Chains A and B, each alone.
Chain A
C-alpha cells in the first residue's frame, strides 16, 4: 500500500489550454495498492484535471507524441518514462511542442 503523495503537475507550451489555462496544479494523489508511476498519474490526470479533448493530450496509455515530460526538470527518457515511480514532492512538467499548443 503506497502512501498518498503530494506532487506538483505543471503544463506549458499551450498544453495548459486543456486544463482551463491553469499552468501549475498542486495535487495530492490518494494512497493505492500499486506504487504511483507516470502511467497511473496520466490516468489520474485524465480523470481529474483534464477539462476537454483528452485525445489532444493522451494517446494510448502515454502522452501524445510531441508533448515532452520533465520530471524534476530532467528528461523522463532518462528516468524510465512511464515506469518512473513518483516520489513525494516531485514536480512533473508537460510541455507541448505542437503548433498552437
Chain B
C-alpha cells in the first residue's frame, strides 16, 4: 500500500477475477481453518461459522453506528415473507435473545401485508399463504399485525399528513434515552419484576393479548370483503403499465404500514431492503423522476412522515448473503408471487433496472456496492425554492417535499399542468366521475365553503397539482383517478379547500407593505 510510486512504474499483475478462483483446497479467509462455503465480495471465501458472525456483526453495526433506535422504543418490522425481511426479523429475534452478547433493547412488532389480491392469487392461495404466514408469526414471540391491502379502502385521510415530531435524534438525546432506560431497568429489577424487553409488565400483557386474539381488530382484521377486493382489483386493472402498477402498490403498502405504525404507536418501521435491492431502487427511481428524493427512498433512515421513521438495517447485506444465510441457517420465509412474477425483462422500469444491475454485477462485482455507496452520500436538502421546512407543501402520495416549481411554466411539465387546468370542468368531471360529496362530510364546518364545493368538478387537476413530478408521471397511467381509495381523494379535496380558504382570507387582508403581508401569511 505504501509503495505507491512503484505501483505506478510497473502495475503488478493483480489477482483479477478471471484468474483461478479460490479452489476447493482453499480455507476460510477469516479463521484459516474451516471449509469455505460462500464467496462474498470478490474472492473472500468464508466458512459457515465465520459467515454467520460476519452477517450478524453487519446487522448490529448498522444499528449501532446510526444510533437511531432508542432503547425501549417500539419498532415495527415490515415483513413481506421474502428473504431479506425474513432475515431481518430473525436477526432481531437473535439480537433480543438472552444469550446474545449485546442485546438489542427495542420492542419489536411485526406487520405483514397480504397483497394477494393484486398479485393474481386466488382466495384459496391467499388462505394457504396466510396460514403459512401465521404459523411463522406464531413461532416468533413478537406481537404481530396481519393486514390485507384491501384495507386501504378504509384508511383515514390523515394518513397522508405529515406529523412533525420534536424529538431530535441527536447524540445527546440518544445518550439520555439510554441512561433513563438503564435506570428504569434497575428500578424494575429492584422491584423484582421480571422484565423481558423493557416494557412495564402491564404493557407487555397488553401486547400479548393483541397478538393472540385472532379476532381482534389489531392483529387480523378479518378477511376483506368481496367488494373491497373487487375495488382493489379494478383499480389495479385500470393501470396501464406495470411500472405504474408497481409504484402504486408500493405507495399503498407504505401508507398501510404507516397507518398500522401510527395506530399502535410504533415510532420506527424497519424494512428489509438489501443493498442489492437498494442499488436497483436507486437506478429505478432516477429513471422514474424521483431523483430529488433518492436520499429518502434509499438512505438508512427516512423521516418523511415525521412521527414514524423508516429505517433500513439490512442495507449492508447483499441479496446473495441473505440467500446464503437463510439457506445455511434455515430462516423460514414465505414465497408469494409479486405483480411482476414471470414478467419479461422489459415489462417495467423496475424489471429492466433489476436485470441491468444484475448483469453488470455479474461482470463487475463491485457494481452494487458502488451504486449503493453513492446512495449513502446523498443529502436530504430540498431544492432552494421549496425549502420551506417541514411545513412546506408535500406530495399527496409519496409525502416528499414537493419538487414542482409552479412558476416554471416554460418546461414541458409546466405546459402539461397548465393544459390540465384549462380543460373545461365538465369534461373533467365526466372523466373523473368523482361523486360530488357535500364538503361538510369531508371535514369542513357547517356552511363551510359554498365556493369550494362549486369547484369540485376540478378534482382530477386538484389531485395532480398536489403531486410531485414522479407521482404525476405515474398517475398519467391511470385513465381515471376515481378507483383510487377514498382517503386519497378526500385528503386532496381537503387540501385544496384549505388552499381556497387561505386564498379567500388573503383577499380581506389589508396589505400595507410586502413585508407585513408575509408575516400575516406565516
Contacts and interface: CB of A to CB of B under 8 A. Distances in A.
A65 B341 contact: no
Contacts of B340: 99-100
B38 A13 contact: no
Contact of A78 (B21, B319, B328, B350): B21
A22 interface: no
Highest count of chain B CB atoms <10 Å: which of A12, A18, A73, A98: A98
A97 B339 contact: no
Contacts, number: 93
B337 A93 contact: no
B335 A65 contact: no
B245 to A, nearest CB: 12
Contacts of B323: 13, 68, 95, 97
B337 A14 contact: yes
Contact of B22 (A13, A14, A64, A78): A78
Contacts of B277: 99
Interface string A67-84: 010100111011111000
A41 to B, nearest CB: 18
Contacts of B65: none
B26 A65 contact: no
A80 B21 contact: yes
Interface in A42-101: 52-53, 55-56, 64-66, 68, 70, 73-75, 77-81, 93, 95, 97-101
Interface in B321-356: 322-324, 327-328, 335, 337-345, 350-351, 354-355
A17 B342 CA distance: 8
Given A65-B358, A78-B45, A80-B21, A100 B338 contact: yes
B342 A97 contact: no
Nearest to B351: A99
A97 B83 contact: yes
A98 B338 CA distance: 11
A79 to B, nearest CB: 6
B24 interface: yes
Nearest to B361: A65
Contact of B343 (A12, A73, A81, A100): A100
Contacts of A75: 36-39, 45, 324
A21 to B, nearest CB: 10
Nearest to B280: A99
Contacts of B327: 12, 70, 73, 93, 95
Range, interface on chain A: 20 to 34
Contacts of B345: 55-56
Nearest to B365: A77
Interface in B307-323: 319-320, 322-323
A81 B344 CA distance: 26
A73 B358 contact: no
Nearest to A59: B359
A77 B328 contact: no
Contact of B37 (A18, A68, A74, A95): A74
B362 interface: yes
A43 B471 CA distance: 44
Given A97-B320, A98-B358, A78 B338 contact: no
A68 B320 contact: yes
B23 interface: yes
A65 B327 CA distance: 19
A8 to B, nearest CB: 14
B335 A101 contact: yes
Interface string B476-489: 00000000000000
B341 A78 contact: no
B338 A66 contact: no
Nearest to A98: B354
B320 A53 contact: no
A40 B36 CA distance: 25
Interface string B21-64: 11110100000000111110000010000000000000000000
Interface of A: 12-14, 17-18, 52-53, 55-56, 64-66, 68, 70, 73-75, 77-81, 93, 95, 97-101
Given A17-B337, A78-B22, A100-B339, 12 more contacts: A12-B327, A14-B337, A53-B342, A65-B355, A65-B359, A66-B354, A66-B358, A74-B38, A78-B23, A78-B26, A78-B36, A99-B338
30 contacts: A13-B83, A13-B323, A17-B337, A17-B341, A18-B342, A53-B342, A56-B342, A64-B358, A65-B355, A65-B358, A66-B354, A68-B324, A70-B324, A74-B35, A74-B38, A78-B23, A78-B38, A81-B21, A95-B323, A97-B319, A97-B322, A97-B323, A98-B358, A99-B350, A100-B337, A100-B338, A100-B339, A100-B341, A101-B338, A101-B341
